[in-house]
Protein backbone atom coordinates (compact mmCIF):
# COMPACT_ATOMS: atom_id res chain seq x y z
CA UNK A 1 0.00 0.00 0.00
CA UNK A 2 2.05 2.97 -1.24
CA UNK A 3 1.53 6.31 0.41
CA UNK A 4 1.78 8.06 3.81
CA UNK A 5 5.52 7.74 3.83
CA UNK A 6 7.37 9.31 6.73
CA UNK A 7 4.74 10.98 8.96
CA UNK A 8 6.16 9.17 11.97
CA UNK A 9 9.64 10.59 11.65
CA UNK A 10 8.95 14.19 12.44
CA UNK A 11 7.77 16.07 15.30
CA UNK A 12 4.16 15.16 14.80
CA UNK A 13 3.43 12.07 12.82
CA UNK A 14 0.83 9.99 11.13
CA UNK A 15 2.13 6.54 11.78
CA UNK A 16 3.55 3.75 9.64
CA UNK A 17 2.57 2.78 6.14
CA UNK A 18 3.83 0.30 3.64
CA UNK A 19 6.52 1.50 1.24
CA UNK A 20 7.19 0.11 -2.20
CA UNK A 21 9.68 -2.74 -2.02
CA UNK A 22 9.08 -3.37 1.69
CA UNK A 23 7.09 -6.15 3.30
CA UNK A 24 5.29 -3.86 5.71
CA UNK A 25 4.79 -0.32 6.72
CA UNK A 26 7.18 2.50 6.24
CA UNK A 27 6.43 5.49 8.46
CA UNK A 28 4.66 8.59 7.41
CA UNK A 29 6.39 11.92 7.61
CA UNK A 30 5.43 13.44 10.74
CA UNK A 31 4.41 15.81 12.27
CA UNK A 32 7.71 14.88 16.08
CA UNK A 33 6.67 18.19 16.54
CA UNK A 34 9.49 17.40 17.64
CA UNK A 35 9.45 18.90 21.11
CA UNK A 36 12.65 17.07 21.77
CA UNK A 37 13.84 18.23 18.45
CA UNK A 38 14.27 21.67 19.86
CA UNK A 39 16.63 21.19 22.84
CA UNK A 40 19.35 23.71 23.73
CA UNK A 41 21.35 24.86 26.70
CA UNK A 42 23.52 27.52 28.21
CA UNK A 43 25.94 29.31 25.92
CA UNK A 44 29.71 28.87 25.95
CA UNK A 45 32.08 30.31 28.44
CA UNK A 46 29.82 33.06 29.77
CA UNK A 47 30.41 34.34 33.26
CA UNK A 48 27.68 33.05 35.58
CA UNK A 49 25.22 35.74 36.58
CA UNK A 50 26.19 38.15 33.77
CA UNK A 51 23.39 39.67 31.65
CA UNK A 52 24.68 37.78 28.58
CA UNK A 53 24.77 34.46 30.43
CA UNK A 54 21.28 35.04 31.84
CA UNK A 55 19.97 35.85 28.35
CA UNK A 56 21.46 32.65 26.94
CA UNK A 57 20.03 30.55 29.77
CA UNK A 58 16.59 31.99 29.02
CA UNK A 59 17.12 31.31 25.30
CA UNK A 60 18.14 27.73 26.09
CA UNK A 61 14.91 27.07 27.99
CA UNK A 62 12.86 28.54 25.13
CA UNK A 63 14.71 26.46 22.54
CA UNK A 64 13.87 23.30 24.49
CA UNK A 65 10.20 24.28 24.71
CA UNK A 66 8.28 23.47 21.49
CA UNK A 67 5.60 26.09 22.24
CA UNK A 68 7.81 28.89 23.56
CA UNK A 69 7.51 32.48 22.38
CA UNK A 70 10.50 32.05 20.03
CA UNK A 71 10.83 32.05 16.24
CA UNK A 72 12.99 29.15 15.07
CA UNK A 73 13.83 27.24 11.89
CA UNK A 74 14.91 23.63 12.49
CA UNK A 75 16.16 21.27 9.79
CA UNK A 76 15.71 17.77 11.20
CA UNK A 77 16.97 14.75 9.27
CA UNK A 78 15.76 11.22 10.19
CA UNK A 79 17.48 8.22 8.59
CA UNK A 80 16.06 4.73 9.23
CA UNK A 81 18.23 1.74 8.34
CA UNK A 82 17.25 -1.87 7.66
CA UNK A 83 13.97 -1.59 5.73
CA UNK A 84 12.60 -4.26 3.42
CA UNK A 85 12.61 -8.07 3.39
CA UNK A 86 16.43 -8.17 3.25
CA UNK A 87 16.85 -5.34 5.78
CA UNK A 88 19.11 -3.51 3.34
CA UNK A 89 17.02 -0.45 2.41
CA UNK A 90 17.05 3.09 3.82
CA UNK A 91 14.29 5.63 4.48
CA UNK A 92 15.34 9.28 4.80
CA UNK A 93 13.03 12.12 5.88
CA UNK A 94 14.27 15.71 6.08
CA UNK A 95 11.75 17.78 8.05
CA UNK A 96 11.85 21.55 7.59
CA UNK A 97 9.94 22.81 10.63
CA UNK A 98 9.43 26.60 10.96
CA UNK A 99 7.98 27.69 14.31
CA UNK A 100 6.34 31.14 14.48
CA UNK A 101 4.49 32.53 17.54
CA UNK A 102 1.87 35.30 17.47
CA UNK A 103 0.65 37.33 20.45
CA UNK A 104 -3.16 37.25 20.58
CA UNK A 105 -3.29 39.08 23.91
CA UNK A 106 -1.00 39.69 26.89
CA UNK A 107 -2.08 36.33 28.31
CA UNK A 108 -2.45 34.20 25.15
CA UNK A 109 -0.13 33.27 22.27
CA UNK A 110 -0.75 31.30 19.10
CA UNK A 111 2.27 29.14 18.20
CA UNK A 112 2.31 27.74 14.66
CA UNK A 113 4.48 24.68 13.90
CA UNK A 114 4.61 23.46 10.29
CA UNK A 115 6.39 20.33 9.06
CA UNK A 116 7.45 20.19 5.40
CA UNK A 117 8.91 16.70 4.84
CA UNK A 118 11.32 15.88 2.00
CA UNK A 119 11.14 12.09 1.70
CA UNK A 120 13.44 9.54 0.07
CA UNK A 121 12.02 6.02 0.40
CA UNK A 122 12.62 2.60 -1.15
CA UNK A 123 10.85 1.86 -4.44
CA UNK A 124 10.89 -1.10 -6.82
CA UNK A 125 14.10 -2.59 -8.31
CA UNK A 126 16.36 -1.11 -5.66
CA UNK A 127 15.46 2.48 -6.56
CA UNK A 128 14.50 5.40 -4.28
CA UNK A 129 11.49 7.71 -4.66
CA UNK A 130 12.28 11.26 -3.55
CA UNK A 131 10.08 14.33 -3.22
CA UNK A 132 7.87 16.42 -0.96
CA UNK A 133 5.58 14.51 1.41
CA UNK A 134 2.34 15.60 3.09
CA UNK A 135 2.64 18.92 4.94
CA UNK A 136 1.54 18.91 8.59
CA UNK A 137 0.75 22.31 10.20
CA UNK A 138 -0.23 22.55 13.89
CA UNK A 139 -1.67 25.52 15.79
CA UNK A 140 -1.24 25.72 19.57
CA UNK A 141 -3.09 28.21 21.76
CA UNK A 142 -0.70 28.83 24.66
CA UNK A 143 -1.91 30.64 27.79
CA UNK A 144 0.57 32.57 29.93
CA UNK A 145 2.72 29.99 31.78
CA UNK A 146 1.81 29.24 35.37
CA UNK A 147 4.83 28.42 37.49
CA UNK A 148 7.01 25.74 35.91
CA UNK A 149 4.32 24.58 33.46
CA UNK A 150 3.57 25.68 29.89
CA UNK A 151 0.52 24.16 28.17
CA UNK A 152 -0.71 24.37 24.59
CA UNK A 153 -3.75 22.97 22.77
CA UNK A 154 -5.13 23.25 19.26
CA UNK A 155 -5.72 21.58 15.90
CA UNK A 156 -3.26 19.73 13.68
CA UNK A 157 -3.83 19.22 9.94
CA UNK A 158 -2.70 16.82 7.21
CA UNK A 159 -2.44 18.33 3.71
CA UNK A 160 -2.06 16.01 0.66
CA UNK A 161 0.87 17.88 -0.88
CA UNK A 162 3.07 14.89 -1.81
CA UNK A 163 4.74 15.19 -5.21
CA UNK A 164 4.45 11.42 -5.76
CA UNK A 165 1.59 9.10 -4.77
CA UNK A 166 3.96 6.80 -2.89
CA UNK A 167 5.23 9.67 -0.70
CA UNK A 168 1.90 10.72 0.81
CA UNK A 169 -1.55 9.64 1.92
CA UNK A 170 -3.70 11.34 -0.72
CA UNK A 171 -5.97 12.41 2.15
CA UNK A 172 -6.99 15.59 3.94
CA UNK A 173 -6.86 15.10 7.69
CA UNK A 174 -7.32 16.90 11.00
CA UNK A 175 -7.39 16.25 14.71
CA UNK A 176 -6.48 17.55 18.17
CA UNK A 177 -2.97 18.23 19.44
CA UNK A 178 -1.58 19.14 22.86
CA UNK A 179 1.76 19.91 24.50
CA UNK A 180 2.74 20.08 28.19
CA UNK A 181 6.20 21.35 29.22
CA UNK A 182 7.76 21.39 32.71
CA UNK A 183 10.91 23.46 33.34
CA UNK A 184 12.92 23.39 36.58
CA UNK A 185 16.62 23.99 37.05
CA UNK A 186 18.65 22.05 34.50
CA UNK A 187 15.64 19.93 33.46
CA UNK A 188 13.13 20.53 30.67
CA UNK A 189 10.58 17.74 30.25
CA UNK A 190 7.20 17.23 28.66
CA UNK A 191 5.21 15.54 25.93
CA UNK A 192 3.44 16.25 22.65
CA UNK A 193 0.33 14.25 21.68
CA UNK A 194 -1.84 14.30 18.57
CA UNK A 195 -4.38 12.23 16.66
CA UNK A 196 -5.21 12.68 12.97
CA UNK A 197 -8.25 11.33 11.10
CA UNK A 198 -8.80 11.78 7.36
CA UNK A 199 -12.06 13.42 6.29
CA UNK A 200 -11.66 13.81 2.50
CA UNK A 201 -9.36 12.87 -0.34
CA UNK A 202 -8.73 10.15 -2.89
CA UNK A 203 -11.44 7.49 -2.46
CA UNK A 204 -9.10 4.85 -3.84
CA UNK A 205 -6.58 5.48 -1.05
CA UNK A 206 -6.75 4.18 2.51
CA UNK A 207 -8.24 6.38 5.22
CA UNK A 208 -5.90 7.83 7.86
CA UNK A 209 -6.25 7.28 11.60
CA UNK A 210 -2.92 7.85 13.28
CA UNK A 211 -1.79 8.61 16.83
CA UNK A 212 1.47 10.15 18.01
CA UNK A 213 2.98 10.78 21.43
CA UNK A 214 6.47 12.22 21.89
CA UNK A 215 7.78 12.40 25.45
CA UNK A 216 10.94 14.49 25.75
CA UNK A 217 13.55 14.96 28.45
CA UNK A 218 16.46 17.42 28.35
CA UNK A 219 19.24 17.87 30.90
CA UNK A 220 21.40 20.99 30.57
CA UNK A 221 25.17 20.74 31.09
CA UNK A 222 27.84 23.46 31.39
CA UNK A 223 29.28 25.03 28.24
CA UNK A 224 26.10 24.92 26.18
CA UNK A 225 25.89 21.10 26.06
CA UNK A 226 22.80 19.03 26.85
CA UNK A 227 21.56 15.45 26.94
CA UNK A 228 18.24 14.68 25.24
CA UNK A 229 15.78 11.88 24.65
CA UNK A 230 12.69 12.43 22.51
CA UNK A 231 11.33 9.19 21.01
CA UNK A 232 8.44 9.58 18.54
CA UNK A 233 5.94 6.83 19.38
CA UNK A 234 3.26 6.26 16.74
CA UNK A 235 0.28 4.04 16.09
CA UNK A 236 -1.42 3.46 12.72
CA UNK A 237 -4.95 2.41 13.73
CA UNK A 238 -5.79 1.45 10.11
CA UNK A 239 -3.16 -1.30 10.09
CA UNK A 240 -4.33 -4.83 10.88
CA UNK A 241 -0.91 -5.78 12.27
CA UNK A 242 2.22 -3.99 13.42
CA UNK A 243 0.34 -0.86 14.42
CA UNK A 244 3.02 0.57 16.74
CA UNK A 245 6.51 2.01 16.34
CA UNK A 246 8.31 2.36 19.70
CA UNK A 247 11.85 3.81 19.61
CA UNK A 248 14.24 3.84 22.59
CA UNK A 249 17.36 6.01 22.74
CA UNK A 250 18.64 9.57 22.94
CA UNK A 251 21.62 11.75 22.20
CA UNK A 252 23.58 14.93 22.80
CA UNK A 253 23.49 18.49 21.54
CA UNK A 254 24.81 21.99 22.00
CA UNK A 255 23.64 25.60 21.83
CA UNK A 256 26.25 27.90 20.21
CA UNK A 257 26.58 31.08 18.19
CA UNK A 258 27.92 31.83 14.72
CA UNK A 259 28.68 35.52 15.04
CA UNK A 260 25.55 36.85 16.74
CA UNK A 261 23.29 34.10 15.33
CA UNK A 262 22.21 31.58 18.03
CA UNK A 263 22.11 28.00 16.76
CA UNK A 264 21.26 24.60 18.18
CA UNK A 265 22.62 21.28 16.92
CA UNK A 266 21.99 17.73 18.09
CA UNK A 267 22.52 14.10 17.13
CA UNK A 268 20.37 11.23 18.43
CA UNK A 269 20.01 7.50 17.78
CA UNK A 270 17.03 5.22 18.49
CA UNK A 271 16.46 1.50 18.34
CA UNK A 272 12.93 0.64 17.16
CA UNK A 273 12.13 -2.07 19.72
CA UNK A 274 8.53 -2.44 18.52
CA UNK A 275 7.87 -2.00 14.79
CA UNK A 276 5.99 -3.44 11.80
CA UNK A 277 7.62 -6.18 9.76
CA UNK A 278 9.83 -4.67 7.07
CA UNK A 279 10.43 -1.42 8.94
CA UNK A 280 13.99 -0.49 9.95
CA UNK A 281 15.49 -1.28 13.33
CA UNK A 282 17.57 1.88 13.85
CA UNK A 283 16.78 5.57 13.27
CA UNK A 284 19.44 8.31 13.45
CA UNK A 285 18.18 11.89 13.92
CA UNK A 286 20.43 14.91 13.21
CA UNK A 287 19.25 18.49 13.55
CA UNK A 288 20.47 22.03 13.04
CA UNK A 289 18.20 24.82 14.27
CA UNK A 290 18.35 28.59 13.72
CA UNK A 291 16.99 30.62 16.65
CA UNK A 292 15.56 34.16 16.31
CA UNK A 293 14.94 35.65 19.76
CA UNK A 294 13.12 38.97 20.05
CA UNK A 295 15.58 41.85 19.98
CA UNK A 296 18.31 39.68 18.43
CA UNK A 297 19.74 38.68 21.81
pLDDT at 248 > cutoff 70: yes
Q: Span 192-218, mean pLDDT?
A: 96
- Locate the DSSP E strands across the chain: 16-18, 25-27, 71-83, 89-96, 99-105, 108-122, 128-132, 136-143, 149-158, 171-184, 187-201, 209-220, 225-229, 233-236, 244-258, 261-274, 282-292
DSSP state letter for 140: E
8-46 tens-digit pLDDT: 564 343 333 343 444 444 444 444 444 444 444 444 444
In the structure, what pLDDT confidence band is assigned to residue 135 with cuts at 50, 70 and 90?
A: very high
pTM above 0.85, yes or no: no
CB atoms within 10 A of CB 203: 8
**Cα 24 to Cα 165: distance, rounded to the nearest angstrom:** 17
CB atoms within 10 A of CB 113: 32
Asked if residue 38 lies in contact with residue 48, where contact means CB atoms within 8 angstroms, the answer is no
**Cα 65 to Cα 62: distance, rounded to the nearest angstrom:** 5
Q: Which pLDDT does position 126 carry in this prediction?
A: 75
Q: Which pLDDT does position 47 carry in this prediction?
A: 52
Most confident of 38-47, 145-154, 170-179: 170-179
Average pLDDT of the chain, as a whole number: 84
- Of the two residues 27 and 218, the one the predictor is more confident about is 218
Q: Span 112-131, mean pLDDT?
A: 92
Asked if residue 123 lies in contact with residue 18, where contact means CB atoms within 8 angstroms, the answer is no
CB atoms within 10 A of CB 184: 10
**Cα 185 to Cα 31: distance, rounded to the nearest angstrom:** 29
Torsion of CA 79, 84, 87, 92, to 10 degrees: -10
In the structure, what pLDDT confidence band is assigned to residue 7 with cuts at 50, 70 and 90?
A: low
Asked if residue 101 lies in contact with residue 228, where contact means CB atoms within 8 angstroms, the answer is no
249-292 tens-digit pLDDT: 999 999 999 999 999 999 999 999 999 999 999 999 999 999 99
Amino acid sequence: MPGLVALALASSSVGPVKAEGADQAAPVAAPAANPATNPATKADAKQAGSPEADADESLAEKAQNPIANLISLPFQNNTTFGLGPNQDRVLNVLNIQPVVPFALSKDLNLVTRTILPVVSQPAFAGQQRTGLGDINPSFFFVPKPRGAWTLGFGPTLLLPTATDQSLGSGQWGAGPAGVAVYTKGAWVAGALVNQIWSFAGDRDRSAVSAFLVQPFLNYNLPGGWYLVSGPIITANWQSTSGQWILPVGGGVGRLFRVGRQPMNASIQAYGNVIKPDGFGGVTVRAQIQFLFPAGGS
